[in-house]
Structure 1
Amino acid sequence: MRKRMDQLLHDFDGSSAMNQDVFVQQKEMNEFMYESAEKISFFFEEKAFDEEGNLKQPKEVSMSKVGHALHELDPVFKDYSRSEKFSSVLQSLGYKRPVIIQSVYIFKQSGFGNDVAPHQDNSTLYTEPKTTCTGLWLALEDATTANGCMWAIPGSHRNGLVRRLIRGEQGLHFDQSSPSYEQSDFVAIEAKAGSLVLIHGDLVHRR
C-alpha cells in the first residue's frame, strides 16, 4: 500500500490546488471535505504553504492525508479493504453486514505536521438508530510518541457521543462546541508496523 500511495502522489497534479484555499477547506470541513467521501482527495498540511500560497517543499512531503474513497476507487486499496482478514475481524465483533464508509491514508510529516484535535469518529460518521462506527487503523510503519502516534482517553467511549457534525443550509457545522479535555488523561497508543488497532466510534482520541 505504501508503494501504491507513492504512485498516487507521483501522478497527482497539485498545480491547480497549490493555494491556501485548499487547507482552509480542510480546516473548516466544508464542501471539499464532504464531497471527498466519493473521491480520492489530497489534503495538504497547512504549514506546507508560504504566505503567497505556494508549496515550500515537494508535494510528497506536504500531504496531511489522502481519502476518503480509496476503498472504492483504487484497486489496490479496494482489494485490501475487502479482504477476508478485515471481514473476519468485523464479524468477530458481531457485525452481520459491515459497510466501509471511508478510507484514509494518514501521513505524519516530520517537522511541520499539524496535530488533530481530540474527537470521536461517531461525530462525523453518525448512524441511526444506534451508532455503529468502528475504526480500523493499520500501522504501515512503527508509530511511537517520537513520530506522532495516536493518543486516547481510556474508557471515554463509555460516556457516549458528545456532539455531531451536521450538514445544513450553512454548510457543515457541529451541533455544539467541543468540550475541553485534560491532556494528562490521554495515553499514547503506540503500534508496531503491521499492527491493527480497533477504535470504538465514541472513543475520544487525537493524533
Structure 2
Amino acid sequence: MSVEGNRPRDLEGWSAASTSGALSQSDVREFQRLGFLALTGWCTDDECAAMRNRASAIVRDFDPASHASVFSTTDQTRTTDEYFLASGNGVSCFFEEKALRADGTLTVEKEVAINKIGHAMHDLDDVFRAFSRSDKVKRLMESLSMSKPTPVQSMYIFKQPSIGGEVVPHQDSTFLNTSPATCIGIWLALEDCTVENGCLFALPGTPPVARVMTVDYPGGSRKIEFIGANPTHDLDAAHALEVPAGTLVLLHGANVHFSRANTSAKSRHAYSVHFVSGDAAWKPTNWLQRSNDFPFTPL
C-alpha cells in the first residue's frame, strides 16, 4: 500500500473540501463510487480541542467502580451486558479489553483505559450535540439526498496509546438496520491519523451488506446474533486513510472499513455519528433502542 502525503497514489478523488458542508455533484459521485470520502479542514484546531477537552471531562467524572463494561472491537457478540444495551439512552464509558485485569482492576490509569464513550452524545451532551446537529452537517446530509437525516448513534473513540485495539472489517449497516437500508456515518479525526496510531482503512466500493446483527428485544435471552455468513475481504486492497486532525471522513453504510491496533505512543481520538433516514423503518431487532420518552429526532 503506497501512500504519498495523505493520498494513496492509486486512488484518485478520495478527498475533497467544503466550507459550507454541501458537496458538489462530482464529490457525491466519488462518494457513491468509493463508499468513503475525506473532507479536509472540516473543523478548526480549536473546535477539535473543545471536543477532546469535553471527552476528558466525561472520563474524569466517570466512576470505574460503577460499571466495568468492556467494548470488544473483535467479538461484538460479547457486548451483551445491560449497560451496553441501554447505552443508546445515555452517555456511557467502555473500557479497552487490555485495560482490565481478571479481577476487574485497571492495568493503566483511568484516563487511558477507556475505549470509547457512547452512544447518545449527539443528543445529551451540549458540545457534541452542537457539532452533530450543526447546519453544516445538515447541509452535508442534504447533499446526499437523505430524507429527514436522523442521528441515531454517536461515539467518541480514543484509540489509546499501545492498548488501542483493532477494529475488524465491518459494514455499519450490519449494526444499524433500517428498511430500506439508509445508514451513513461521519467520522471526525480529532488528532492526526497515521498507520502507526491506527488510522482508518477502507475498501473501495459498497458491496451488499453481508451480515445483520440482531437482538431479541424486548425480552428473551438478550443474545446478540449475526444473520448471514462472515465474509472474507482482500485487506491488501484497502487504503489507509491517513488524515490530519479536523478531517471529516464520510462512510457509506455498506462500505467495508477497519482499523488496526495502535502500537504507537500517540493516541488517535475521533468522534463518530451515524445517521439514517427518518422516513425509513428502524428495525425492532437493532441492538440500539431508545426508551419511549426519548425518541430519535431528525436534524
TM-score by length of 2: 0.64
Q: Identify which of 138, 162, 166 aligns with 2:214.
A: 166
Q: How many residue pairs are counted as aligned between the two chains? A: 201
Quick check: which one's helix share is greater?
A: 1
Over the aligned positions, Cα root-mean-square deviation in angstroms equals 1.6
Name the SS for the 1:102 alignment partner.
strand
Q: Distance in 2 between matches of 1:25 and 1:32?
A: 14
Contact 1:23 1:43 in 2 (8 A): yes
Partner of 2:191: 141
Name the SS for the 1:202 alignment partner.
coil
Equivalent residues in 2 for 1:100-119, closer than 5 Å: 100-119=151-170
How many angstroms does 1:49 deviate by? 1.4
Q: Distance in 2 between matches of 1:183 and 1:81?
A: 31
Partner of 1:10: 60
Contact 2:72 2:97 in 1 (8 A): no
Name the SS for the 2:178 alignment partner.
coil
Contact 1:25 1:32 in 2 (8 A): no
How many angstroms does 1:25 deviate by? 7.6
Is residue 137 of structure 2 the alignment partner of residue 90 of structure 1? no
Is residue 118 of structure 2 the alignment partner of residue 67 of structure 1? yes
Aligned in 2, Cα 1:96/1:24: closer, same or farther, shift over 3 Å? closer
Partner of 1:78: 129
Q: Distance in 2 between matches of 1:137 and 1:189?
A: 11
How many angstroms does 1:24 deviate by? 7.0
**1:157-196 Cα deviation digits (max 9, x unpaired):** 1x21101011123422111342222321222111111111
Contact 2:88 2:120 in 1 (8 A): yes
Instruction: Please tell me the residue identity of whatever aligns with 1:189.
Output: L
Identity of matched residues, %: 41
Partner of 1:46: 97
Partner of 1:23: 70
Is 178-187 or 144-153 further displaced after alignment?
178-187
Instruction: Please tell me the residue identity of whatever aligns with 2:248.
Output: L
Q: Distance in 1 between matches of 2:238 and 2:83?
A: 30
TM-score by length of 1: 0.91
Moved segments of 4+, more than 6 Å: none
Aligned in 2, Cα 1:32/1:180: closer, same or farther, shift over 3 Å? farther
Name the SS for the 1:117 alignment partner.
strand
Q: Identify which of 227, 230, 234 aligns with 1:182.
A: 234
- The unaligned stretches of length 5 or more in structure 2 are 1-50, 260-299
Quick check: which one's strand share is greater?
A: 2
Contact 2:208 2:254 in 1 (8 A): yes
Aligned in 2, Cα 1:32/1:15: closer, same or farther, shift over 3 Å? closer
Question: Larger Cα Rg: Structure 1 or Structure 2?
Answer: 2
Partner of 2:258: 206
Instruction: Please tell me the residue identity of whatever aligns with 1:142.
Output: D
